[in-house]
Structure 1
Amino acid sequence: MSILNFPDYNSGIPDDAVAELDPLHADAVCARLPAMNERADLPAVCSALRTIIPTLDQIAAFNPLECLAAMRDIGILLGSVRRHGAQPVFAVPEIEPVLLELASRTDLVPRDTVHHYTCWNPRGVRQRMYTGDPQETHLIDSVRNAMPRLGAAVTICARLVRLDPAAPVFAESLDILADHLHGMVTSISDVMAHVSPVYFARGLRPYFDAITVAGADYLGPAAANMPLALIDVALWASDRGDESYDCFHRESIAYSLPPWRRLYAAWQYGPSLAQVISAAIARDGNDDGQPQAAAEALCRALRVLIMFRGKHVTIARRAYEEEVGLYQEGSGGGTVELLARILRLTRDIAAEVGVRHSQGLTAVVRRSG
């Protein structure tokens, strides 16, 4: 079994083990990269990329973890080439078959993803960076810290979709889910405290531009491609979203790990947990109030998402306001307007579930009277 076919829905991949690897002997090249980027030295970056390109025979000898580490190191150079105005596969044509082969070996897109840039990135002096600025480290660490808890939240969702809301463990699991989601709030608060909107918008965002591989465009390692949209789909968005958000999470899921893509395929048409809980309350055949407890727990989880999204909209507006930013869209392809729309949708579903919860409590009181 490939290491990417892990049994639960966290990353399942030993992040530190990938981070320790240097299959392309790229440590020295990556250490010099921030200086090359500061000079906007495209020829030097292209030359550096050529020095680490493996042959297809070498890739065939790599184990799965080495393939991940190889794409990580190639990826930091791909983004740098793109930032300086060139398409990597046009500037360095020999890279294209390598990207396609690494994608095939790992069942991921043919470039680096947010996992490569954060969770599988070495710490300390070996850390792969575009700019070398301490603010970049804060951004990388914010995702490193949040990703395992988001993965655990996905695992909880995978269990919840198989449970009856009448089961006591249902509400308990939602409370644990809310605790894990708090990791996103902590991470974005850290970003707001330590990363300036100007640095992100002008210093880092250009490295995440899309590159073209085999005629298709692939976005850079954006934090937007963390599995938060997948959690939305499980909780409420499969049957309560809208066309713009549906389109966004269909596109972003392509950058996820294979098990998360399979979950999305299973969940995308619902029913969401919000719908399942509402149906259980409408049934109202439970005198012990467990569906009401589930609704209350879901509201708590949704409030955490609302807290995160409020902060996300604030930081995005600062980074993409006209006098600061260079782009109309975020690194994951979403706009500030989309983020605000998702925030409104999350608030709406939280209010609706809250009403269902109140109605259910009233029904229980009437029966007990």
Structure 2
Amino acid sequence: MPTRTRHTTPDPDLGNPIRVATIRDLDPLSADRACFALRRQNEAADVPALTAALRALLPAPGTVATYSLEESVAAMRDLGMFLGSIKRHGPEPLDLVPEALPVLRELGSRTDMVPRDTVHHYCTWNPVGARQRMYTGDVQEAYLQESVRMVFPHLRDGLELAATLGDTDLADPKFVLLTDELTQHTETMVTAIDMVVANVGPEFFARVLRPYFEEIDVGDRVLLGPAAAQVPLWLIDLAIWAADHSDPGYQEFLSDSIPYSLRRWRDLYDRWVRTPSVVGRLVEAFGDDPAAAERRSPALRASTEALARLLRVLVVFRGRHLGIARKAYDADLRLYPVGSGGASVDLLRQIIDLTRAAARLARPSSGPAPHERRRAAG
């Protein structure tokens, strides 16, 4: 194999649309044919063939050091398809192919991500069309992957808007414009989940696809497989209300999920977990006398209404998600008690309740009395 010169990548943003398109086009392991054969091997539960294919795809020692950032992501994407497939049929993949461990660790280090594939590898950075990597080849799987693809750029832009919103004065006219733009991006989540409801059957997800997303042992770490929970809508929750209006269960879920995110998103988490949320700032701005606060700053009313629109969309999405989860994890259908990201149906229900409570706090004129709001905020 000819030696390649490592590309310099001063911008580590793996969510950049140009970089996403580049990663989709790449095939550094020459894995196109193997990834297509993987569908048939999974249908036959042919663990020896999957194991042989994973071993054959591993780059030679030293080759990973020549990969660009984009090539490293694409390599992890393709190796991950075989990791999840082998585990779906029973064995720990690195028990069968232990020589994969240093490769995974190096790829994880070079991409500043966990040393296995995530939902972003499986969906966002996955080629489309004839080269699409799929566990089953079923059109329902394709719809599930597309739902994440369509959300990813909107979520990326939405998180940057949330970052700007956190630095914007509540009475600044820009606050309403930013919040409404964030709401528009968030509405894409509702569109995507409606597409999943219409095209992906609960039984297919629960019994056919969900087993491919199991956790695996990677050295001394147990790492979750690709999971919808790794699409961090919860980061928007954190910025808007959850930084100071959450509960221990949701906080633990957030801290467990953040390692599977992109570096920029991990940085935002570290920032937002230590600062007041937008709802928290609004409660403080209205104080004990909302009417007096509005007289001093009439723009607060428009900001409150814009925030209410955003929270309404978040509640709608959470309701749709809960409906899917209830069906997929029904006791008569499920193979696993919790989602592939570690969230239970009970946690999803709690998140809806917390979001609704935050929405009530953000409506001072129609919500509880000021002293009750302050008690809830504490």
**TM-score surpassing 0.5?**
yes
Question: What is the deviation of 1:16?
Answer: 1.4
CA distance, structure 2, for counterparts of residue 3 and residue 312 of structure 1:
37
* 1:301-340, Cα deviation, whole Å (9 max, x unpaired): 0100100000100000000001111010001110000001
Aligned to 1:214: 219
CA distance, structure 2, for counterparts of residue 52 and residue 163 of structure 1:
49
Whether the aligned pair in 2 keeps the contact of 1:208 and 1:220 (CA below 8 Å) is yes
Which of 310, 326, 329 does residue 320 from structure 1 map onto? 329
Go from structure 1 to structure 2 and tell me whether the alpha carbon gap of 1:212 and 1:167 turns closer, same or farther (over 3 Å shift): same
Aligned to 2:12: 5
Kindly indicate whether residue 95 of structure 2 is the aligned counterpart of residue 95 of structure 1.
no
Whether the aligned pair in 2 keeps the contact of 1:233 and 1:272 (CA below 8 Å) is yes
**Mapping for residues 238-317 of structure 1, pairs under 5 Å:** 238-282=243-287, 284=293, 287-317=296-326
Whether the aligned pair in 2 keeps the contact of 1:82 and 1:88 (CA below 8 Å) is yes
CA distance, structure 2, for counterparts of residue 12 and residue 125 of structure 1:
21
Aligned to 1:334: 343
Worse-matched range after superposition: 163-172 or 66-75: 163-172
Question: What is the deviation of 1:28?
Answer: 0.3
Q: Secondary structure of the residue that 1:57 maps to in structure 2?
A: coil
Which of 127, 136, 157 does residue 131 from structure 1 map onto? 136
Kindly indicate whether residue 89 of structure 2 is the aligned counterpart of residue 84 of structure 1.
yes
Go from structure 1 to structure 2 and tell me whether the alpha carbon gap of 1:189 and 1:16 turns closer, same or farther (over 3 Å shift): same
CA distance, structure 1, for counterparts of residue 114 and residue 142 of structure 2:
24
Question: What is the deviation of 1:45?
Answer: 0.4
Go from structure 1 to structure 2 and tell me whether the alpha carbon gap of 1:120 and 1:266 turns closer, same or farther (over 3 Å shift): same
Q: How high is the sequence identity, in percent, across the aligned residues?
A: 46
Where has structure 1 moved over 3 Å in runs of 4 or more? 1-4, 9-13, 285-288, 356-360
Which of 26, 39, 44 does residue 31 from structure 2 map onto? 26
Gapped regions of structure 2 (runs ≥ 5): 1-7, 370-378
Which of 117, 126, 129 does residue 121 from structure 1 map onto? 126
Q: Give the alignment's TM-score, normalised by structure 1.
A: 0.94
Whether the aligned pair in 1 keeps the contact of 2:186 and 2:313 (CA below 8 Å) is yes
* 1:63-98, Cα deviation, whole Å (9 max, x unpaired): 100000000000011100110111111110000000
Amino acid at match of 1:326: L
**Mapping for residues 329-368 of structure 1, pairs under 5 Å:** 329-355=338-364
Aligned length: 358
Amino acid at match of 2:73: L
Question: What is the deviation of 1:357?
Answer: 7.1
Question: What is the deviation of 1:166?
Answer: 1.2
Gapped regions of structure 1 (runs ≥ 5): 361-369
* RMSD between aligned residues: 1.7
Whether the aligned pair in 2 keeps the contact of 1:295 and 1:357 (CA below 8 Å) is no
Q: Secondary structure of the residue that 1:76 maps to in structure 2?
A: helix
Whether the aligned pair in 2 keeps the contact of 1:22 and 1:70 (CA below 8 Å) is yes
CA distance, structure 1, for counterparts of residue 217 and residue 39 of structure 2:
23
Q: Give the alignment's TM-score, normalised by structure 2.
A: 0.91
CA distance, structure 1, for counterparts of residue 200 and residue 101 of structure 2:
34
CA distance, structure 2, for counterparts of residue 100 and residue 13 of structure 1:
26
CA distance, structure 2, for counterparts of residue 11 and residue 64 of structure 1:
13
Question: What is the deviation of 1:285?
Answer: 7.1
